[in-house]
């Protein structure tokens, strides 16, 4: 039976942002390397797509190319979702998979976008979807199609329709920006003449926690990206920093100096129920919840130099996690809980590393030397981090096996503090 899903609107997935556009800060991608294996796929032009401002097939192709695991087969064909498929012909062209579709203008101003995916080797249909899309959401529709292709051909959810947040600095102005995962459609969530650091997405993708210095000291805020409402979560004596959400979105782990040295605390998302988690005569900072929410990873100098530790959310003795080198910071745990990304200083270079938590194997993932702020994609297959390019802050993305790399730059200013948003439900 043909698997058709009709979406009357996908506006909810966009979580409408009413913020000011940041056109000058659009990200530009530079891609190097390819995945260990590549899946050859052809994307035929969707008849009718010229009626929309955004061409569906161009966006889908760009998404798949950025993933590093697809080889796009050149073709000039235009095939609709009702076209007969000559599987043998597409195999001869080198395509193991073929995507076709159509775009039709509707009387109410929306577009009816239809798409089908075929396995040319098995001569079978893998997927068929239909979207009722508002004109301003055509990019999101294309990202959803690319997500479906990625998942059907790899068995892993695609991340093209997710979003990212980051901080840009231009002159004396700091901006917290939110954009699609491909860097398009950036919106400014907050402008300030004081630093903004450490943004962190809520698990449902509707809020971002961050640290702002607008009170002339670091204070933790939560901002609702739908209503634009902000609330103060942590404004205690001294420094309030490094917010990280629990997997269920009910709590934050934060680093506070309210009782002396910087220590890790847990606080409810509404600012109540503060509880101290670590208690040492040193610095404990950069807390991150584990994937299951049962423990918190953090950076501590209790062994003489910064290393990464893990402690139960109920407290108790912390366990050291990193042992190679004398400087390991900024722990980030993969969504499946099996990999720890972090920044290590080796031979004077600050670089991105990944530690397999199941066997202790460590791998360097970056070839730059001023890396910071790693963040996993929600499918766990890519890591975004901040680095430098031409003495300016830029972002980079690397696959967890280190084979595929991307560099993201802006035309003006520095870009830092990236955080990759969750899957939208």
The domain that holds 59 is classified in CATH as: 3.40.50.10070
On whether both 94 and 119 belong to a single domain, the answer is yes
In a domain, 26, yes or no: no
14: Cα within 13 Å, side-chain hemisphere: 21
Task: Write the CA distances from 258 to 236, 242, 261, 274, 313, integer angstroms.
Answer: 6, 14, 8, 11, 20
Which tokens is 1 given? Answer: 């039976």
On whether both 193 and 48 belong to a single domain, the answer is no
pLDDT score at 36: 61
Q: What is the DSSP string of 157-226?
A: ---TT-EEEEEEEETTEEEEEEEETTS-S-EEEEEESS-EEEEEE-TTSSEEEEEE-TTSS-EEEEEETT
Cα 156 from Cα 150, distance rounded (Å): 7
On whether both 142 and 231 belong to a single domain, the answer is no
CB under 8 Å to 230, separation ≥6 — which residues?
Answer: 221, 222, 223, 224
Q: Which of 132, 154, 176 is the last residue of a domain?
A: 154
On whether both 413 and 335 belong to a single domain, the answer is yes
- CB burial string 153-170: b at 16+ within 10 A, e below: bbeebbbbbbbbbbbbbb
Cα 378 from Cα 422, distance rounded (Å): 5
Nearest Cα residue to 375 out of 342, 329, 420: 420
pLDDT score at 343: 98
Distance of CA 158 to the CA centre of its chain: 11
Cα 351 from Cα 356, distance rounded (Å): 17
Note the pTM of the prediction, 2 decimals.
0.91
On whether both 353 and 305 belong to a single domain, the answer is yes
Cα 327 from Cα 333, distance rounded (Å): 18
In a domain, 11, yes or no: no
On whether both 120 and 199 belong to a single domain, the answer is no
In a domain, 325, yes or no: yes
The domain that holds 312 is classified in CATH as: 2.120.10.30
The label of the residue with tokens 């998942």 reads 151
Task: Write the CA distances from 249 to 111, 207, 265, 269, integer angstroms.
Answer: 35, 10, 16, 7
On whether both 143 and 175 belong to a single domain, the answer is no
CA pseudo-torsion sign 321, 302, 242, 236: positive
pLDDT score at 148: 98
Cα 250 from Cα 253, distance rounded (Å): 11
Q: Which of 154, 179, 199 is the last residue of a domain?
A: 154
Number of structural domains found in the chain: 2
In a domain, 21, yes or no: no
On whether both 109 and 251 belong to a single domain, the answer is no
In a domain, 402, yes or no: yes
Nearest Cα residue to 222 out of 194, 247, 193, 254: 254
Range of the domain at 100: 36-154
Nearest Cα residue to 142 out of 58, 260, 253, 258: 58
In order along its 425 residues, the chain shows pLDDT tens digits of 334 333 333 333 344 444 555 544 466 666 666 656 799 999 999 999 999 988 999 999 999 999 999 999 999 999 999 999 999 999 999 999 999 999 999 999 999 999 999 999 999 999 999 999 999 999 999 999 999 999 999 999 999 999 999 999 989 999 999 999 998 999 999 999 999 999 999 999 999 999 999 999 999 999 999 999 999 999 999 999 999 999 999 999 999 999 999 999 999 999 999 999 999 999 999 999 999 999 999 999 999 999 999 999 999 999 999 999 999 999 999 999 999 999 999 999 999 999 999 999 999 999 999 999 999 999 999 999 999 877 788 899 999 999 889 888 776 678 999 999 999 87
In a domain, 28, yes or no: no
In a domain, 66, yes or no: yes
Cα 70 from Cα 347, distance rounded (Å): 36
On whether both 221 and 355 belong to a single domain, the answer is yes
Q: Which of 125, 154, 183 is the last residue of a domain?
A: 154
pLDDT score at 84: 93
pLDDT score at 17: 47
Task: Give residue-wise pLDDT tens across range 340-382.
Answer: 999 999 999 999 999 999 999 999 999 999 999 999 999 999 9
On whether both 129 and 259 belong to a single domain, the answer is no
In a domain, 403, yes or no: yes
């Amino acid at each position: 039976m043909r698997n058709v899903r009709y979406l009357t609107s996908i506006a909810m997935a966009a979580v409408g942002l009413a913020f000011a556009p940041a056109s000058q800060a659009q990200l530009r991608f530079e891609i190097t390397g390819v995945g260990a294996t590549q899946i050859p796929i052809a994307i035929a032009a969707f008849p009718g797509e010229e009626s929309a401002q955004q061409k569906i097939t161009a966006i889908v192709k760009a998404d798949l190319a950025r993933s590093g695991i697809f080889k796009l087969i050149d073709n000039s064909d235009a095939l609709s979702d009702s076209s007969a498929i000559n599987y043998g012909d597409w195999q001869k062209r080198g395509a193991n998979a073929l995507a076709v579709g159509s775009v039709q203008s509707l009387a109410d101003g929306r577009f009816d976008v239809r798409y089908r995916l075929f396995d040319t080797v098995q001569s079978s249909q893998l997927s068929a979807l239909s979207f009722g899309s508002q004109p301003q959401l055509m990019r999101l529709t294309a990202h959803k199609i690319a997500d479906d292709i990625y998942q059907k051909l790899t068995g892993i959810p695609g991340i093209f329709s997710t979003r990212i947040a980051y901080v840009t600095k231009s002159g004396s102005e700091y901006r917290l920006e939110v954009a699609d995962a491909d860097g398009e459609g950036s919106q400014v969530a907050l402008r300030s003449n004081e630093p903004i650091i450490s943004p962190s997405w809520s698990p449902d993708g509707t809020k971002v926690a961050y640290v702002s210095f607008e009170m002339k000291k670091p204070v933790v805020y939560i901002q609702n990206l739908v209503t634009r409402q902000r609330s103060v979560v942590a404004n205690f004596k001294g420094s309030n920093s490094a917010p990280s959400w629990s997997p269920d979105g009910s709590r934050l782990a934060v680093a506070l100096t309210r009782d002396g040295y910087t220590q890790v605390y847990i606080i409810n998302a509404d600012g109540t129920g503060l509880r101290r988690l670590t208690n040492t005569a040193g610095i404990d900072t950069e807390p991150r919840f584990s994937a299951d929410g049962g423990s918190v990873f953090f950076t501590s100098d209790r062994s003489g130099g910064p290393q990464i530790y893990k402690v139960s959310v109920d407290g108790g003795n912390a366990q050291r996690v990193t042992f190679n080198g004398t400087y390991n910071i900024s722990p980030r745990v993969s969504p499946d809980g099996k990999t720890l990304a972090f920044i290590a200083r080796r031979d004077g270079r600050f670089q991105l590393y990944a530690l397999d938590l199941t066997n202790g194997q460590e791998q360097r993932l970056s070839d730059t030397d001023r890396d910071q702020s790693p963040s996993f994609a929600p499918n766990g297959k890519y890591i975004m981090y901040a680095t430098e390019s031409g003495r300016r802050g830029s972002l980079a993305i690397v696959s967890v096996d280190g084979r595929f790399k991307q560099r993201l730059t802006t035309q003006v200013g520095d870009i830092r503090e990236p955080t990759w948003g969750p899957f939208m439900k």
